[in-house]
Each structure stands twice: as C-alpha cells, then as structure tokens.
Amino acid sequence: MTAQQVIKAELIAPCGMNCAICMARLLRKNKCPGCRSVDENKTKSCLNCMIANCEELKATGSKYCSERCEKYPCRRLKDLDKRYRSKYHMSMLENLEYVEEKGIRAFVRNERVRWTCTECGGTICTHTGCCSDCGRERV
C-alpha cells in the first residue's frame, strides 16, 4: 500500500506521532490501528501511553497536545520528542508546530512526501528507516 493511501489525518496521534509510519502499524499481521482508534488491537504501548491518555487532553477535548494545554509541551512530550529525535530523526514537537502553523491537511501532504519510498511508492517506517514494501533504506 502506498504512503498516499496510508497516511491520513486520523492517524496523527495527540503527541504529533504519525501512526501511519509506525512499525506496529506497518506490520503484515496484527496491525496496530493507531492511537486514536478505539480498536482493542492497539499495542500495549498505545494502551498505556500517558500522553494519549492525558487528562488535560480529555478535559479540553483537544485532538493534539499543542491545542489548549497550559502544560504544553509537558515533560513527557519533551522526553518522547528527545528520544525520537536521537533514535529516529523525527520530532513530535516539530510535527505539532507544523500542524498548528499550516493545518493538518498540509501536514499530511508533507508527511506523504517525506515518508514515501522513492523506489516503489510504499511507506517508509520511522523506526527502521526502510520501506515496508520493498525494504529499501531511506535516502
């Protein structure tokens, strides 16, 4: 499946993670449905995520941590962002800033370009750095 088909607004988590490029989502079997899903097939990390289950997020009815949260960016989000910057070369905070500045549609369009394999059009996994379809390493 191409990145065009996979990356959608409803797969952008409250923390700014693009669940469509997550290793758990790109599995051939037992795919994680993403953080926003009510599906019981979520991974344990999604079910137990302190950010996705944040009371502030629920209280304000916000889709993203950057909306209406007095604690944004909180320590948990900063720690997650630091880990993803160093290990996977992507930033949750930059993702949220992009959504705030240009909107979710523009963000999704940008993500489709950013995470599409130039060889086959498949989706590049943020965790492995490889295309989930052809295995080619991200250039």
Tell me how far apart the alpha carbons of residues 114 and 109 are, in angstroms, rounded to a whole number: 9
Tell me how far apart the alpha carbons of residues 117 and 2 are, in angstroms, rounded to a whole number: 9
Domain range list for the chain: 3-114
Q: State mean pLDDT over 107-127.
A: 94
> For the segment 7-53, what is each residue's pLDDT rounded down to a tens digit?
899 999 999 999 999 999 998 888 888 888 876 778 888 888 899 88
Structure tokens at 36: 């926003």
Please report the pLDDT score of residue 117 as a whole number.
94
Structure tokens at 41: 């097939």
Q: Evaluate the CA torsion angle 12, 16, 19, 21 in order and state its sign.
A: positive
Comparing CA positions, the residue from 66, 44, 42 lying closest to residue 56 is 66
